[in-house]
A and B are shown apart, each in its own frame.
Chain A
Amino acid sequence: MSLQSPLTRVRGRGSAKSGVSHWWVQRVTAVTLVPLTLWFVVKLLGLPSLNIGDVREWVAEGWTPVLLIMLLGAMAWHSALGVQVVLEDYIRLKSLKVAALFTSTIFHVLVAIAGSYAVLRIALTTPITAG
């Protein structure tokens, strides 16, 4: 049952029916990021060095590229949702708010693609060394 008149909804004051999805995806990505970020930090600390050779070798090995791309995707999504809420809360001028939301969304997608492309490029161009 709706407590709104159809007129109110037409004027854009009703629920867009997307709140639950926003909340849910925020939680799903949060739960995904807990093990992935810890894995990333522990692996990075365990590398022999952070020189380009050691880093590339690690990025290219086994499941690393898969997990890294998943990490980047979950991080971008989680970040996009979080930044969206902050922009909605603090920018009062509507035109500026819409412009900021547009920019944030596009930029998050761009950065996620850039990071995934970098991981793939490393994984596909680093020769496999024995041992």
Chain B
Amino acid sequence: MMRERPLSPHLDIYKFAYTMATSIAHRASGIVLAFGFNLLVWWLMAAAAGPAAYERVQGVVGSWLGQLALAGWLLAFAYHLFNGLRHLNWDMGRGLERAEARRSALWVVIATVVLTAWIGYVAFFGGETA
């Protein structure tokens, strides 16, 4: 009863362009943020539950693995934010030319690095700049 439906060409027939990487990274960072959302709620639940629970969360977040996860989460946040703005701009019909898309991809990478570095710097080396 169910016949085979037409499929779009598989990814591997296309020549690689770095704008493809920015597209894949948007999904990947979104998945990272979906997991991070649970951590955010876990942290809030612990703060609501009391000092003992909160200390446990701080212990996990303070470990090297926790710090690594936090850094990855921060990077994913910055990237998804800027690339998301790029998508919103496309949704308004702007910047869709190939050259423009390549240029905005570069800007997204630069902005991501700057924001990640800035937040990382303030978080680790003091609160006066914030």
Residue positions of B touching A, CB distance < 8 A? 1-2, 27, 30-31, 33-34, 37-38, 40-41, 44-45, 47-48, 50-51, 54, 58, 77, 81, 84-85, 87-88, 91, 119, 122-123, 127, 130
Known: A27-B91, A34-B81, A118-B45. A79 touches B127 (CB 8 A): no
Chain A residues within 8 Å of chain B by Cβ, number: 36
Q: Any chain B CB within 8 A of the CB of A130? A: no
- Does the CB pair A52–B41 fall under 8 Å? no
Main secondary structure of the interface of B (DSSP, over half): helix
For residue B122, which residues in chain A have a CB less than 8 angstroms away from its CB?
45
Of the candidates B48, B58, B85, which one forms a contact with A122 in the assembled complex, judged by CB atoms under 8 Å apart? B48
Q: Which residue of B lies closest to A46 (CB)?
A: B130
Q: Which residue of B lies closest to A120 (CB)?
A: B48
Q: How far is the CA of A125 from the CA of B50 in the complex (A)?
A: 11
Q: How far is the CA of A27 from the CA of B89 in the complex (A)?
A: 11
Q: Which residue of A lies closest to B85 (CB)?
A: A34
- Does the CB pair A48–B127 fall under 8 Å? yes
